[in-house]
Amino acid sequence: METYIMQYTPEQLVWFYIMMFMVFSAAGWLMEVTLKYIQFHRFINRGFLIGPVCPIYGAGAVLVTLVVNIFSRNDGYLVTFLISFFFCSALEYFVSWYMEKVFHARWWDYSERPMNLEGRIWIGNCMLFGIGGMLIVKLIVPVLFRVFSRIPFAVLRGLCIFFAALMIADYVCSHIVTSMVRHVGEASKGDDTEQISQEIRRILSQKSFLHRRILDAYPNMQARTAAIQKRLSDDRHRLQARIKEERRKFYSRTDR
């Protein structure tokens, strides 16, 4: 276990991890926004939530730090790298799967990248997760915890509760807004996934700025739902059956 953890009480650590989650969620959002600004030369509010946070970064930082501090008896960088590599990759895979199941859309897709797993994760990001986790656990978290320890405990706890309440409210609002993707996709009469995705983008672009933000944050979003896939499959089977029936009728007339 990392030595800096031993100097704090369990109650302190609970609130430290909550505050750490908030800090890295905001830092992840800032990094995403900066990278997109460099790429497209305009502000793009990245992430699922409306506010300036990307919880997947906060969750990854807390997850890796907890696993290293609880289970690792080796203070080496290699162990921390491997834990970060595998656990953060698993987290990104789970979030991709969860959002696809809930909102019936694939929000990012690495299918064109080398060494990817179902397009949800790929080796490049996994390596970055390992390096980033190593830096977070070994260099950043000890400094953060020292800063947190200097904040009066009541103030720290109040800040955690306040920011957690804001994030929960943001999630509820974002969930309602993003659910339109599922509803539009299931109601669409498009003939394939790309047509349905284009229809979703068109309808979202005509709604409020909160809906249009989804298009900015996830421009490559693709409709993915069992209901849509089943309907498309049924349509194909009906078309094939109709072609087969028309062909049978045609040959029946020519044989007379």
For 2, 8, 65, 89, 178, the CA distances from 70, given in Å and listed in that order, are 9, 14, 8, 19, 36
- Given this model, what pLDDT does residue 218 score? 84
The pTM of this model reads 0.81
- Given this model, what pLDDT does residue 160 score? 96
- Given this model, what pLDDT does residue 255 score? 57
- Given this model, what pLDDT does residue 101 score? 85
For every one of its 256 residues, what pLDDT tens digit does the chain have, with 9 covering 90 and above?
A: 566 777 888 899 999 999 999 999 999 999 999 998 998 899 988 888 999 999 999 999 999 999 998 876 666 889 999 999 999 999 999 999 998 888 878 888 898 899 999 999 999 999 999 999 999 999 999 999 999 999 999 999 999 999 999 999 999 998 888 887 777 766 665 555 666 677 777 777 788 887 788 878 887 777 765 555 565 566 666 777 777 777 776 566 665 5
- Given this model, what pLDDT does residue 126 score? 96
- Given this model, what pLDDT does residue 211 score? 79
Please state the domain extents for the chain. Answer: 3-171, 175-254
- Given this model, what pLDDT does residue 225 score? 56
- Given this model, what pLDDT does residue 253 score? 63
- Given this model, what pLDDT does residue 223 score? 73
